[in-house]
Amino acid sequence: MKPSTIAIDGPAASGKSTVAERVAHQLGYLYLDTGVMYRAVTWAAIQRNVPLEDEAAVTDLARALHIDVVSPSVDDGRQYTVLTDGVDVTWDIRRPAVDANVSLVSTYRGVRAEMVRQQRRVAQGGRIVMVGRDIGSVVLPDADLKIYMDAAVEERARRRWLELQERSKPMAYDDVLAMMRSRDQIDSQRDISPLCIPAGAVVFDTTELSAEEVLAQLLALIERQGCPADE
């Protein structure tokens, strides 16, 4: 049998989200980027005028929300459908106000604990590829397959720099590199769910690999485990 729960972790621009989505598509699984749940809490707080700097109030809100991530319900380019208390907020959570505040909300211990609980609930049905920075270590430590994707920080900065160019948001490469190094330090040294290689994870160094090459290697790994992707 193929793995029913696949956890993919790694630092920013390691290629984890791109590959996770494509693996999920190949297997016919749900793709879940756990960051969307923190975005949903942030959006709800803004909508309900909950002060974002009030950790207790935001945590209470997170505990009151029912967040679901399901397969795309509308053919509009979305990777999944995000529901907050039954309301489709898939595109609302991508608004600039959410972009500007989700990092703060995701640092709250109570919010993270609640999102882990809800992420586990979504994963209970199996047939899921979940991606983040603490999936194999905290959210799904017993996942059937745990992957950790990494790449040299210079290469990850180059990838992000190219993304910004394509989005018409040019930024100096050196500035992107500095931001990437800062983000790595924050992610790996934070008190709550720090970024680390989960126990038992298979490590992929994507520095010199394309997304297609990483995808092929990951599917080959599944096959070697006796879990052919076409079963």
Q: Which residues of 140-156 are buried (b: 16+ CB within 10 A; e: fewer)?
A: beebbbbbbbbbebebb
pLDDT above 60 for 175 = yes
Q: Give one word for 200, left, alpha or beta, with left for phi > 0 and alpha for psi -120 to 50.
A: left
Strands (E), 62-138: 67-70, 81-84, 87-88, 128-132
Q: Please, how many CA atoms are within 13 Å of residue 82, restricted to the half-sphere of its CB?
A: 23
pLDDT of residue 127: 95
Tell me what pLDDT residue 229 has: 45
Confidence class of residue 226 from pLDDT cuts 50, 70 and 90?
Answer: low
Domain boundaries, the chain: 31-125
Report angle CA 63, 126, 43 to the nearest 5 degrees.
30
Average pLDDT (200-211) is 96
pLDDT tens-digit readout, 27-53: 999 999 999 999 999 999 999 999 999
Across 4-8, 13-17, 184-188, 194-198, least confident range: 184-188
Q: Give tens-digit pLDDT for 55-112.
A: 999 999 999 999 999 999 999 999 999 999 999 999 999 998 998 899 889 889 999 9
Nearest-angstrom CA–CA distance, 23 and 19? 6
pLDDT, averaged across the chain: 93
For residue 203, is it left (φ>0), alpha (ψ between -120 and 50) or beta? Answer: beta
pLDDT at 230: 47
pLDDT above 60: residue 20: yes
CATH topology for 31-125 is Rossmann fold (3.40.50)
The H-or-E segment that residue 8 falls in is strand 5-9
